[in-house]
Structure 1
Amino acid sequence: MASKNQSGNDNRGGNRGGGFQSMDEDKQRRIASKGGQAVSQDREHMSEIGRKGGEASGGGNRGGGGGGGRGGNDR
């Protein structure tokens, strides 16, 4: 039967001494900063894709004064 550690998780593999926590702080920071940069680049990329899609569908003209979407002639 597998033992459980203090947090209640199974400890099947034993303590291998690897992983993110065993790295020195500088290496952890370098890896974490790469992740932050990737997220930032992805946001800009997704924003650009959305903008192009909106322009292609004619959604670039929002609000503004035009007839409220019905055709215009009030009688």
Structure 2
Amino acid sequence: LGLSVGLRGEVGKNTELRTAGTRPAGELYTGVLYDALGLASLEADARRRAAKSLLVFSGLWGAVRIGDRIPPYR
């Protein structure tokens, strides 16, 4: 595939996704929108509403809620 050395390791990790440890999706994803949301800083009521109404669209897992546990991947 012409992958860099760094990405080869990531591809190897992806072959172990079925047995990898998981974390809530809201803790895994990063970027401008996630930073602006400030999920960790929300009050309990707002966090509960977010857990019910927010979806993350993952290329690998499809639509997941922020509390759904998924393994880190790249």
TM-score, L = length of structure 2:
0.22
Q: Which has the larger radius of gyration?
A: 1
Q: Which has the higher contact order (CA 8 A, sep 6+)?
A: 2
Return the TM-score normalized by structure 1.
0.22
Which has the larger share of strand? 2
